Amino acid sequence: MIGCSCPVCQSKDPANQRLRSSIHIQSGEKSLIVDTTTDFRLQCLRAGIDRVDAVIYTHEHADHILGVDELRPLCLRQDSRIPLYGSARVLENIRRIFPYAVHQPPPYKGLPQVDLHEITGTFRIGHIGITPFELPHGPRFKSHGFIFNEGRGPCLGYFTDCKAVPENARRSLKGIKILILDALRKNDHLTHLTLSEALEIVREIQPGHAYFTHMNHEMDHATVSAELPRGVQLAHDGLVIDTQQAKPRDS
């Protein structure tokens, strides 16, 4: 956190040096991003990402959408517009903040160029099936969680920025190989799951492996990691998860 001198913000442990929450999914030839964060440029450079086939948005909070402009070099490299998928509200905000990226035809070459697709139900990007779930992210705000299916059944659930995981999503997530879940901090919070709320959901869903994300600076990686049960860990920047290797917990 800017200006903070707490032990986590000052920590030399790379697992405590956190940029904004997002993931990159590589499946066969397909390269997908979930959320273009305020740190998207740095995250792409750091992870060596040189191609993005589509971006999927969880919600329109600034830390999740403001990196749209950084799609610019990828549009140029790929010589194509990049499709963005989000709720009507996400798309409305992208249209308002980045009108030049949405404009058809582009005002000039060299701008980010995106096509907007509203999420209304399960959709596909190539061979990847993506099922959205509406999540409460505070009393009056909704985000989307997603279950990804590479063709051999659901393999990954990505549920960040939520205060709860509704029953229909829990049912679909039951026994999934990999679950990535919001766990902001230990103390109660209006819009995010706490560590104990996240652990409760993991106990019910019984994923093969659970990773917590979107932690704030009250969560020291080593300290909290030592308190977690088997099969549950805090994610960290740069973490790579191989869904092919991952197994359901019971097998």
Residue span binding Zn ion (CB under 5 A) among the ranges 41-49, 90-98, 217-225, 236-244 = 217-225
Min dist. Cβ of residue 89 to Zn ion (A): 12
Preceding amide of 107 cis, omega within 30: no
Task: Residue 56: name the closest of 131, 156, 113 by CA.
Answer: 131
35 interacts with Zn ion by CB under 5 A: no
Min dist. Cβ of residue 1 to Zn ion (A): 5
Helix (H), strand (E), coil (C) string for 147-169: EEECCCCEEEEEECCCCCCCHHH
**Residue 156 class from Cβ within 10 Å (0-12 exposed, 13-18 middle, 19+ buried)?**
buried
45 interacts with Zn ion by CB under 5 A: no
9 interacts with Zn ion by CB under 5 A: yes
217 interacts with Zn ion by CB under 5 A: yes
161 interacts with Zn ion by CB under 5 A: yes
Strands 54-56 and 114-118: unpaired
Instruction: Kindly state the number of chain residues that form the binding site for Zn ion, as judged by CB under 5 A.
Output: 8
**β-strand partners of 210:** 179, 232
Displacement of CA 12 from its chain's centroid (Å): 25
Residue pointed to by tokens 């035809």: 105
4 interacts with Zn ion by CB under 5 A: yes
- Encoded amino acid at 78, one letter: Q
Smaller CB separation from Zn ion, 39 or 150: 39
- Choosing from 18, 61, 144, 209, the residue that interacts with Zn ion (CB under 5 A) is 61
Smaller CB separation from Zn ion, 90 or 169: 90
Smaller CB separation from Zn ion, 150 or 159: 159
Binding site for Zn ion (CB under 5 A): 1, 4, 6, 9, 61, 63, 161, 217
